[in-house]
Amino acid sequence: MSTAVTTSEAALGGPGPGCAAPRHVAVIMDGNGRWAAQRGLPRREGHRRGVEALRRTVRAAGALGIGILTIFSFSSENWSRPPSEISDLMGLLRRFIRNDLVDLHKSNVKVRVIGERTTLSPDIAGLLREAEDLTRANTGLVLVVAFNYGSRQEIARAAQRLAAEVAAGRLAPEAITAELISSRLDAPDIPDPDLIIRTSGEQRLSNFLLWQAAYSELVFVPLYWPEFDQAALEGAIAEYRRRERRFGGLAAAGAGP
């Protein structure tokens, strides 16, 4: 057992009766706008406070010994929002990388990015690349940023890559398996999320990690994202650990002959 797993088991209350501590936690950070509306504030203030919740969550994930944290920060469909909101969100991403990258690097966080990059503005694409390049050799928490991300689009990109290999005569159509499709997704080396948390009370995936979520446990937290903190993360993990993951098999007690 690695040190990281021991740390996380200890931080999250020991082995316990249910499943082990999650190795990969993914978060749909939702409810910034409603948080602001409830207080009579502009939506951008909700997004600004959402960045603070993100900082808290990254620290908490590190403290709890979580190996991988994936955050849904901008979806392929979020381009349909008003231009002023899109500009606020892009501004926050720029500022987040400019202000926080050095601290993330010092904390040994390794940043990865998933989503469509080729259509992003060059400055945003450059900042995302800089974050990955600077932290590439880090060995602590892996922070996967899903930006301009849509799961159907990611699967379509994987299909295009495989189709190109078939067309070039390097791959037989019947050699295409689920594993091969997984290997052509945006971050094939990252294991599937054990736990997906969505804040704000909405209970849907909104085009997030559809392929990878096949056997993820889903926990819906009735807090708006700006309210999320370490206690909420611990609560979601405690709920996860009470679940029984069967992956289509039988429960441990009924697994015998």
Q: Which segments are annotated as binding site?
A: 30-35, 43, 47, 75-77, 79, 81, 198, 204-206, 217
CB of 225 to ligand IPE, least distance (A): 6
Closer residue to ligand IPE in complex, CB, 31/193: 31
Subset of 32-51 contacting ligand IPE (CB under 6 A) = 32-34
Closer residue to ligand IPE in complex, CB, 30/217: 30
Q: Which one of residues 107, 138, 153, 206 is an interface residue with ligand IPE (CB under 6 A)? A: 206
Closer residue to ligand IPE in complex, CB, 9/227: 227
52 binds ligand IPE (CB under 6 A): no
**DSSP for 141-183?**
-EEEEEEEE-HHHHHHHHHHHHHHHHHTTSS-GGG--HHHHHH
Q: Show Cβ contacts of residue 147 under 8 Å, excluding neighbours closer than 6 positions.
A: 73, 74, 93, 113, 114, 115, 120, 128
123, 117, 99, 12: which is closest to 61 by C-alpha?
12
User: Which residue's Cβ lies closest to Mg ion?
Assistant: 30
CB of 199 to ligand IPE, least distance (A): 8
Of the candidates 30, 88, 100, 186, the residue annotated as catalytic is 30
CA atoms in the 13 A half-sphere facing the CB of 64: 26
Residue 114 DSSP label: E
Residue with tokens 């379509």, as numbered in its chain: 156
Subset of 208-247 contacting ligand IPE (CB under 6 A) = 225
94 binds ligand IPE (CB under 6 A): no
Q: Is 78 an annotated catalytic residue? A: yes
CB of 170 to ligand IPE, least distance (A): 36
225: left (phi over 0), alpha (psi -120 to 50) or beta: alpha
User: Which residue's Cβ lies closest to ligand IPE?
Assistant: 33
Q: What are phi and psi of 194, to 5 degrees?
A: -80, -40
* Sign (positive or negative) of CA dihedral 107, 217, 30, 87: positive
Binding mask 134-173 for ligand IPE (x = CB under 6 A): ----------------------------------------
**DSSP for 36-76?**
HHHTT--HHHHHHHHHHHHHHHHHHHHHTT-SEEEEEEEEG
29 binds ligand IPE (CB under 6 A): yes
Q: Is-contact 241 12, C-beta < 8 A?
A: yes
**Piece in contact with Mg ion (CB under 5 A), picked from 25-33, 47-55, 120-128, 210-218:** 25-33
Catalytic residue annotation: 30, 78
